[in-house]
C-alpha cells in the first residue's frame, strides 16, 4: 500500500505510542475495567481527536484512510482506546458535513483538541438494527425541544460533554424516518444526574472494558432549538444524517477488527516460535503452520477491503456496499483469529496472564456493533441485487 510521507510519519508515531504505552498495560486496565486517563491525554497531545477535522477548525485535516489506519494501530494495542475516539469522530464528521456554519465554529475547534468529547446515541432497548423503531421523542416547546426517552449502549455516555442524539420529532410522518431529527445535546461530563438527564451506572460487559457503555434516560430534558443538527433545515433529516455516519462507522469497525486480528496473529506467531513440544518449536508443526497461513492470508484480505472502502468513502462516492463488506469480513476474521491464537497458546491461552484471552473477549463486540453481521449481509445482498438487476 502506497502512503504519503505524512501518513507514514503519523502511523509511526501512533505505532510507537501503542507499543510503548498501550499494549503493555491494556490487559491491566481491562481486568480492572478502568478508564485509561493518561492514554487519552496522550491521544489529545497527538491531535488524534481532531485527526479528520479541517485545519481551519484546529484539526489535522487528514483523510479517512489515514484515520482508518490509525484506528487499526490503536486497536492492535486495545480496541477500548480506539472506542474513546470512535463516536467522537463520527459526531465531528456529522457536524462538519451536516451542521450549520455556526455549529461548526462552535463545536469543531473544541472537539479537535479533545477538550469537548462526544458520544453517539441511536440505539434503544427495543430498537437496535431497526432504527425506525426508536421511541425517544423531542417536542418543540417555544424556543427549545423537550426530550423524553431512553438510549442504550452509548459509548462514552458518561464522560462525554455532548451527545449526538436521534429522536422522533413528528410521530405521524410517513415513512416514519422522515419524522426523525438529529440533535447536538450538550451535557455535563462525568455527571450521573443533571436536570432532565440521568446516566445510570455503566453496563457490565464480556469485553470492551475500560471505556464506559451506558444508558441515557431523558425526562423532560430541554435543549435549544438551535441544537438541531443543520438548523431548521435539519428537522426531519436526522435518520439520513445518522445512517451516513453509520456507513462511516462501518469502515471504523472494520479497521478496529483489523487491528484486533493483527494483535491476535502477532501473539500467536510469536508464541509458536517460543513454545516447544517434542523437542522443537510448535511453529515447525504443520498443524500450527496451517493456522498461521490462514490467519495471515485472511488478515491481508481484510486490510485490502478496509483500504478500498476507506478510499472510496473519502472520495465522496457511495460506499455502503464496500463498507458493509469490509465490516462483515474483517470482524469475522477478527473473531476467527482470536480463537485460533488461543488454540495456538493451548491452555495458556485461557489464562489472564496472556493477552489472547482479552482479545478473544473483545472480538464479539465487533460482529454486533454498527449493525449486526446478520443484518449486514441482508444490506449487502440488497445492494448486490440492485447492482445486478435484470
What are the tens digits of pLDDT across the range 232-260? 999 999 999 999 998 889 999 999 999 99
Give 327's contacts (C-beta < 8 A, 6+ positions apart): 250, 251, 253, 254, 257, 370, 371, 373, 376
Question: What spatial distance separates the first Cα and last Cα of the chain, rounded to whole Å?
Answer: 36
Same domain, 104 and 36: yes
Q: Is 267 helix (H, G, I), strand (E, B) or coil?
A: helix
The arithmetic mean of pLDDT across residues 257-279, rounded, is: 97
Please name every residue paired with 183 in a beta bridge, in sequence order, or none if there are none. Answer: 165, 228
Is 370 an annotated catalytic residue?
Answer: yes
User: Mind listing the pLDDT tens digit for each residue in 177-232?
Assistant: 999 999 999 999 999 999 999 999 999 999 999 999 999 999 999 999 999 999 99
Same domain, 98 and 147: no
What is the percentage of the chain residues whose pLDDT exceeds 70?
100
Note down the domain range covering 376.
240-388
User: Mind listing the pLDDT tens digit for each residue in 112-142?
Assistant: 999 999 999 999 998 877 788 899 999 999 9
Same domain, 231 and 269: no
Same domain, 134 and 167: yes
Band of residue 107 on the pLDDT scale cut at 50, 70, 90: very high
Same domain, 247 and 314: yes
The arithmetic mean of pLDDT across residues 362-371, rounded, is: 92
How many other C-beta atoms lie within 10 A of the C-beta of residue 152? 18
Same domain, 33 and 62: yes
Q: Using alpha carbons, select from 127, 178, 171 the residue that is nearest to residue 151.
A: 127
Looking at 235, 250, 265, the residue that finishes a domain is 235
Looking at 213, 235, 257, the residue that finishes a domain is 235
Average pLDDT over the chain, rounded to whole? 95
Instruction: Read off the CATH number of the domain in which 384 is found.
Output: 1.20.140.10
Band of residue 366 on the pLDDT scale cut at 50, 70, 90: very high
pTM assigned to the model: 0.95
Residue 17 has pLDDT above 90, yes or no: yes
Question: Of 193, 370, 374, 386, which is the active-site residue?
Answer: 370
Number of domains the chain is built from: 3
Which backbone phi and psi does 60 adopt, to 5 degrees?
-85, -20
The pLDDT, as a whole number, for residue 316 is: 86
The pLDDT, as a whole number, for residue 63 is: 93
- For cell 445535546, the residue is 185
The pLDDT, as a whole number, for residue 128 is: 72
Looking at 113, 142, 169, the residue that finishes a domain is 113
Amino acid at each position: 500500500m502506497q502512503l504519503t510521507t505524512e501518513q507514514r510519519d503519523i502511523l509511526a508515531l501512533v505505532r510507537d505510542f501503542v507499543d510503548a504505552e498501550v499494549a503493555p498495560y491494556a490487559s491491566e486496565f481491562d481486568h480492572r475495567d478502568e478508564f485509561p486517563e493518561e492514554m487519552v491525554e496522550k491521544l489529545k497531545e497527538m491531535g488524534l481527536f481532531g485527526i479528520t477535522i479541517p485545519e481551519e477548525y484546529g484539526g489535522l485535516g487528514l483523510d479517512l484512510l489515514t484515520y482508518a489506519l490509525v484506528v487499526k494501530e490503536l486497536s492492535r494495542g486495545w480496541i477500548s482506546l480506539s472506542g474513546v475516539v470512535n463516536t467522537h469522530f463520527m459526531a465531528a464528521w456529522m457536524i462538519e458535513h451536516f451542521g450549520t456554519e455556526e455549529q461548526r465554529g462552535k463545536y469543531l475547534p473544541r472537539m479537535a483538541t479533545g477538550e469537548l468529547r462526544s458520544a453517539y446515541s441511536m440505539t434503544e432497548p427495543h430498537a437496535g438494527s431497526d432504527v425506525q423503531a426508536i421511541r425517544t421523542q423531542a417536542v418543540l416547546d417555544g424556543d427549545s425541544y423537550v426530550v423524553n426517552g431512553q438510549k442504550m449502549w452509548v459509548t462514552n455516555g458518561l464522560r462525554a460533554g455532548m451527545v449526538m442524539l436521534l429522536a422522533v420529532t413528528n410521530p405521524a410522518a410517513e415513512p416514519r424516518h422522515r419524522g426523525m431529527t438529529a440533535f447536538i445535546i450538550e451535557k455535563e461530563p462525568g455527571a450521573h444526574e443533571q436536570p432532565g438527564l440521568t446516566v445510570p451506572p455503566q453496563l457490565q460487559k464480556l469485553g470492551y472494558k475500560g471505556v464506559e457503555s451506558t444508558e441515557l434516560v431523558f425526562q423532560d430534558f430541554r435543549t435549544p432549538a438551535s441544537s438541531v443538527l443543520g438548523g431548521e433545515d435539519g428537522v426531519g433529516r436526522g435518520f439520513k444524517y445518522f445512517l451516513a455516519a453509520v456507513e462511516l462507522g462501518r469502515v471504523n469497525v472494520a479497521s478496529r477488527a483489523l487491528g484486533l486480528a493483527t494483535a491476535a496473529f502477532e501473539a500467536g506467531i510469536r508464541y509458536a516460535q517460543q513454545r516447544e513440544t517434542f523437542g522443537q518449536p510448535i511453529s515447525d508443526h504443520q498443524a500450527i503452520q496451517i493456522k498461521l497461513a490462514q490467519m495471515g492470508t485472511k488478515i491481508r484480505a481484510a486490510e485490502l477491503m478496509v483500504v478500498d472502502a476507506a478510499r472510496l468513502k473519502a472520495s465522496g462516492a457511495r460506499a455502503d456496499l464496500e463498507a458493509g463488506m469490509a465490516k462483515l469480513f474483517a470482524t469475522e476474521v477478527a473473531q476467527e483469529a482470536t480463537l485460533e491464537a488461543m488454540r495456538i497458546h493451548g491452555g495458556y491461552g485461557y489464562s489472564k496472564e496472556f493477552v489472547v484471552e482479552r482479545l478473544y473477549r473483545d472480538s464479539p463486540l465487533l460482529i454486533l456493533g454498527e449493525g449486526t453481521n446478520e443484518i449486514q449481509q441482508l444490506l449487502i445482498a440488497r445492494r448486490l441485487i440492485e447492482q445486478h438487476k435484470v
